[in-house]
């Protein structure tokens, strides 16, 4: 069974631009979560989608948004990029919502904002 | 609010020696506890988890962890490390319906 895939793997953007990251979950998984990983703040939860509905949200500004499609694929969008948005963005999928379901992580998208 | 502390930023251990990584958590109720490993350029892989029951939990790759409620700790151990265990290790805590809070991570270097 294929794992979680994230595209693109690397991305360079300029301050003020917007970016869209994509995550394809493991087949059959209906929950997708997004995390931001930076050297200063560590791993922080962004949001979770289950059956096309946002179920949980972390403490990030409204510039960070996401959505999930009927095939469970998810996209994350960051508008008006700031230098501090440079990070590794990790996507994780699971069969269901809640921590009883194991999360499987993708390799991440490395975003650099210049 | 839940939080996790991993006191050791970096640990160096010789191949074949034992390894213990410390994790302390702060949470008002019974927590769900996890240990993840991240190799360079990779996502996170779950090593083991604790929800309830036996406080000594066995995981993959020969790792185990012990939940100690009185000390609010969930330390990870491995009796004999291999060079392939060099990675960054994250402890995480969460409640059943909420998402994970991660510690800052401990980088493990294995010397020959």
pLDDT in tens, A13-60: 999 999 999 999 999 999 999 999 999 899 999 999 999 999 989 999
Q: What gap in Å lies between CA B33 and CA B94, rounded to an integer?
A: 7
Q: Which pLDDT score is estimated for A49?
A: 96
CA distance between the termini of chain B: 41
CB spacing of A98 vs B102 below 8 angstroms = no
pLDDT tier at B97, thresholds 50, 70, 90: low
Work out the minimum CA distance from B26 to partner chain A, whole angstroms. Answer: 17
Find the range with the poorest average confidence among A84-93, B41-50, B66-75, B88-97. B88-97
Which of B47, B99, B100, B102 would you mutate first to test chain A, the one with the most A CBs within 10 A?
B99
User: What distances in angstroms separate CA B56 from CA B48, B69, B84, one per listed residue?
Assistant: 11, 12, 24
Q: Which of A42, A9, A24, A46 is nearest to A104 (CA)?
A: A24
CB spacing of B49 vs A102 below 8 angstroms = yes
B43 vs A97, A98, A107: nearest CB: A107
CB spacing of A48 vs B99 below 8 angstroms = yes
User: What distances in angstroms separate CA A54 from CA A50, A58, B39, B64, one per listed residue?
Assistant: 6, 11, 29, 34
Going by DSSP bridges, is the β-strand pair A74-78/A19-24 parallel, antiparallel, or unpaired? antiparallel
Let me know: does A62 contact A7? Beta carbons within 8 Å: no
Residue B101 has pLDDT above 70, yes or no: yes
Q: In what order do the strands lie in the sheet with A19-24?
A: A5-7, A19-24, A74-78, A64-68
Is residue A94 within 8 angstroms of chain B, CB to CB? no
B contacts of A108 (beta carbons < 8 Å): 43
**DSSP code, position B57:** E
Three-class SS of chain A: CCCCEEECCEEEECCCCCEEEEEECCCCCCEEEEEEEECCCEEEEEEEEECCEEEEECCCCCCEEEEECCCCCEEEEECCCCHHHCEEEEEEEECCCCCCCCCEECCCEEEEEC
pLDDT tier at B31, thresholds 50, 70, 90: confident
**Tokens in use for B5?**
């502390």
Q: Which of B15, B23, B4 is nearest to B108 (CA)?
A: B15
Q: What is the pLDDT of residues B34-44, one digit of tens each?
A: 999 999 888 89
Q: What is the pLDDT of residues B46-85, one digit of tens each?
A: 999 999 889 999 999 999 999 999 999 999 999 999 999 9
CB spacing of B44 vs A90 below 8 angstroms = yes
């Amino acid at each position: 069974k294929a794992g979680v895939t994230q595209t693109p793997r690397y991305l360079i953007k300029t301050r003020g631009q917007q970016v869209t990251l994509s995550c394809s979950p493991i087949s059959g998984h209906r929950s997708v979560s997004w995390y931001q990983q930076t050297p200063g703040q560590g791993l922080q939860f962004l949001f979770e989608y289950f059956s096309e509905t946002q179920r949980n949200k972390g403490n990030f500004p409204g510039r960070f948004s996401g959505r999930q499609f009927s095939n469970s694929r998810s996209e994350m969008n960051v508008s008006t990029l700031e230098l501090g948005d440079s990070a590794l963005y990790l996507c994780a999928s699971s069969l269901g919502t809640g921590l009883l379901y194991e999360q499987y992580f993708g390799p991440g998208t490395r975003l650099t904002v210049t | 609010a839940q939080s996790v502390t991993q006191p050791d930023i970096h640990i160096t251990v010789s191949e074949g020696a034992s390894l213990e990584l410390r994790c302390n958590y702060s949470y008002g109720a019974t927590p769900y506890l996890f240990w993840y490993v991240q190799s360079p350029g990779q996502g996170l892989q779950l090593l083991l988890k604790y929800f309830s029951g036996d406080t000594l939990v066995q995981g993959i790759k020969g790792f185990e962890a012990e939940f100690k409620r009185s000390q609010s700790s969930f330390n990870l151990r491995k009796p004999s490390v291999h060079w392939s265990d060099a990675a960054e290790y994250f402890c995480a805590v969460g409640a059943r319906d909420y998402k994970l809070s991660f510690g800052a991570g401990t980088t493990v270097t294995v010397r020959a």
